[in-house]
């Protein structure tokens, strides 16, 4: 008999080893057209992540206030805390999916009064007796998973955990990009508020000149009232510019999970006229594989494929080894005597036959889940390509508009210089010079606005290509 058990054990272990690593077949794009596969290949060849964008890319701006605020947001934002909690939950569930693959052990202790039927299988004098039964037992079992179903479910749990981790990373990247955007917008809003204040002062100066000329009969009422209207209009622009500053500060504070007053004293500098980062020369498809949402969708496909394997292998038989041993007696004082010992060791084979189409329904559900995961992955790739394209178009068009605005500002400066020379020579009036100064301020305001838009386009491109904001590097 021991020989039989030994042979059964060897056979079961061999079958287990043959089935413990289920293979999956996915209908993903070919490796050379799959951004995640290409990104992984590039990482392996280069020994790490691509250099663009760099991890914590916002530090390249050299702004300590920005660095501190981003860190505050990434630490205190409640939405990010939710994403992290979901990732932790998925990791715990994945760990639980591996539990059935390990040996299971347990103990039980029972006691109770039992009466044996006098008309049952036990005749008198046993039949009709009432006695106390005390039992102390332990059990040990190991599921060999011949079908590989449990291994497939565990692999699916690992893929789901990885997907949840990537989604938390994507939330982190989006928060970092949003923080930098709002910080740049706040810097631009403060510059715009100063420009509106300067323009309002110039129009007030023009109004004083026009009223003085009108008092001496040198200016008509229509021109004077038009200038007065401009002064009043800039009162409204001042209110709107101030409102914008307050709102952006409030949004920055909200990202940090704080009240509006938390960013009341935050005053970023004017956005730099230089590009935030140098655009990579080779914007290939593999760069999309950096994006956490694309990688997460890819992991969801893997998880769905493993679940397909598990659903199909539910039709196959499974084998487990079970050992039970303990003590049983009719009285506590005799429980630990040698005659109270009992044990049972043997294999348990299960082969499901009829289940009312439950397994078929589960298989069909997993097939549909796989198709949905595939569609979501394709949608994620298409969306990533669209976002990169939009960011590139925006970056190019904003750059061209900014260069044109700078040239226009240079022309206005030259025009103002000429007017000042004419004023010195008595050819141009003071009102002409003031009008020239207003035009320079307006052009400067437009350059500042387009500078902010150009830097925001930089952030859009960085985020579209992965927005490297991870807590630690990992291929």
pLDDT tens, position by position, 1-31: 455 555 555 555 545 544 455 566 666 666 5
**The token pair that represents 236 in the structure block:** 């409204």
What CA–CA distance (Å, rounded) separates 411 from 434?
16
Residues 356-360, mean pLDDT to the nearest whole number: 88
Amino acid 325: pLDDT: 87
Amino acid 1: pLDDT: 45
250-290 pLDDT per residue, tens: 999 999 988 888 888 888 888 877 766 666 655 566 667 77
93 Cβ contact partners less than 8 Å away, ≥ 6 residues apart: 157, 160, 161
Contact 157/98 with Cβ under 8 angstroms? Answer: yes
Dihedral sign from CA coordinates of 26, 27, 30, 31: negative
Q: What is the DSSP letter of 276?
A: S
- pLDDT(48) > 60: no
Residues 456-471, mean pLDDT to the nearest whole number: 76
What CA–CA distance (Å, rounded) separates 306 from 22?
8
Residues in the chain, how many?
Answer: 475
85-139 pLDDT per residue, tens: 999 999 999 999 988 888 889 998 888 888 888 787 777 777 778 878 888 888 8
Ranges of H-type helices in 313-350: none
CA angle 333, 334, 335 (to 5 degrees): 95
Quickly state the pLDDT bin for 37 (edges 50, 70, 90): low
Q: What is the DSSP letter of 28?
A: P
| Of 435, 442, 457, 433, the residue nearest 405 (C-alpha) | 442
* Residue 412 C-beta-side C-alpha neighbours within 13 Å: 22
373-421 pLDDT per residue, tens: 999 998 888 888 888 888 888 988 998 999 999 999 999 889 888 888 8
254-263 pLDDT per residue, tens: 999 888 888 8
Contact 318/181 with Cβ under 8 angstroms? Answer: no
**The token pair that represents 289 in the structure block:** 């594989």
Strands 104-115 and 318-329: what pairing?
A: unpaired
Helix (H, G, I), strand (E, B) or coil at 142: strand
Quickly state the pLDDT bin for 212 (edges 50, 70, 90): confident
What CA–CA distance (Å, rounded) separates 188 from 182?
10
Give the end-to-end CA distance of the chain in Å, rounded to a whole number. 53
What CA–CA distance (Å, rounded) separates 291 from 75?
21
What CA–CA distance (Å, rounded) separates 462 from 156?
31
What CA–CA distance (Å, rounded) separates 49 from 43?
5
Helix (H, G, I), strand (E, B) or coil at 342: strand
Amino acid 32: pLDDT: 58
| Of 238, 394, 366, the residue nearest 305 (C-alpha) | 366
Amino acid 403: pLDDT: 92
What CA–CA distance (Å, rounded) separates 114 from 329?
12
Amino acid 472: pLDDT: 37
Dihedral sign from CA coordinates of 377, 379, 382, 386: negative
Amino acid 49: pLDDT: 45
**The token pair that represents 292 in the structure block:** 């956490």
What CA–CA distance (Å, rounded) separates 278 from 14?
57
Quick count: other Cβ atoms within 10 Å of Cβ 108? Answer: 11
Contact 192/349 with Cβ under 8 angstroms? Answer: no
Helix (H, G, I), strand (E, B) or coil at 170: helix
Q: What is the DSSP letter of 86?
A: H
167 Cβ contact partners less than 8 Å away, ≥ 6 residues apart: 83, 86, 87, 292, 293, 296
Mean pLDDT of the chain: 82
More confident residue, 275 or 81: 81
What CA–CA distance (Å, rounded) separates 464 from 35?
14
């Amino acid at each position: 008999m021991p020989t039989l058990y030994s042979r059964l054990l060897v056979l079961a272990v061999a079958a287990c080893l043959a089935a413990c690593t289920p293979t999956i077949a996915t209908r993903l794009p070919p490796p050379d057209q799959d951004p995640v596969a290409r990104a992984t290949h590039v990482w392996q060849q280069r020994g790490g992540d691509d250099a663009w964008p760099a991890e914590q890319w916002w530090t390249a701006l050299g702004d300590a206030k920005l660095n501190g605020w981003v860190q505050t947001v990434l630490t205190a934002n409640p939405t990010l805390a939710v994403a992290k909690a979901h990732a932790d939950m998925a990791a715990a569930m994945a760990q639980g999916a591996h539990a059935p693959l390990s040996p299971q052990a347990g103990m039980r202790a029972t006691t109770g009064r039992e009466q044996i039927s006098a008309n049952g299988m036990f005749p008198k004098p046993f039949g009709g007796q009432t006695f106390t039964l005390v039992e102390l037992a332990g059990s040990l079992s190991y599921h060999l998973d011949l079908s590989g179903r449990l291994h497939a479910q565990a692999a699916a749990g690992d893929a789901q955990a990885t997907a949840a981790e990537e989604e938390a990373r994507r939330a982190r990247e989006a928060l970092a990009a949003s923080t930098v955007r709002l910080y740049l917008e706040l810097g631009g809003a403060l510059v715009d508020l100063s420009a509106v204040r300067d323009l309002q002062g110039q129009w007030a100066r023009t109004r004083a000149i026009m009223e003085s000329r009108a008092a001496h009969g040198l200016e008509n009422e229509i021109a004077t009232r038009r200038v007065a209207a401009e002064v009043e209009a800039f009162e409204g622009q001042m209110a709107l510019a101030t409102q914008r500053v307050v709102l952006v500060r409030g949004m920055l504070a909200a990202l940090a999970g704080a009240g509006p007053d938390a960013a009341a004293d935050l005053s970023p500098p004017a956005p730099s006229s230089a590009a935030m980062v140098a655009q990579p020369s080779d914007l290939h498809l593999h760069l999309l594989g950096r994006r956490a949402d694309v990688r997460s969708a890819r992991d969801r496909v893997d998880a769905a494929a493993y679940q397909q394997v598990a659903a199909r292998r539910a039709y196959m038989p499974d084998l487990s080894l079970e050992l039970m041993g303990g003590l049983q007696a009719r009285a506590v004082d005799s429980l630990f005597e040698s005659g109270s010992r009992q044990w049972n060791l043997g294999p348990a084979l299960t082969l499901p036959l009829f289940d009312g189409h439950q397994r078929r329904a589960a298989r069909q559900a997993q097939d549909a889940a796989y198709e949905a995961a595939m569609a979501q992955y394709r949608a994620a790739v298409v969306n990533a390509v669209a976002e990169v394209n939009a960011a590139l178009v925006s970056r190019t068009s904003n750059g061209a508009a900014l260069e044109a605005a700078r040239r226009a500002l240079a022309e206005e400066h030259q025009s103002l210089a000429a007017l000042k020379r004419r004023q010195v020579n008595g050819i141009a009036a003071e009102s002409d010079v003031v009008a020239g100064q207003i035009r320079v301020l307006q052009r400067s305001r437009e350059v500042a606005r387009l500078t902010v838009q150009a830097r925001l386009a930089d952030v859009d491109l960085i985020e579209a290509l992965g927005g490297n904001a991870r807590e630690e590097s990992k291929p």
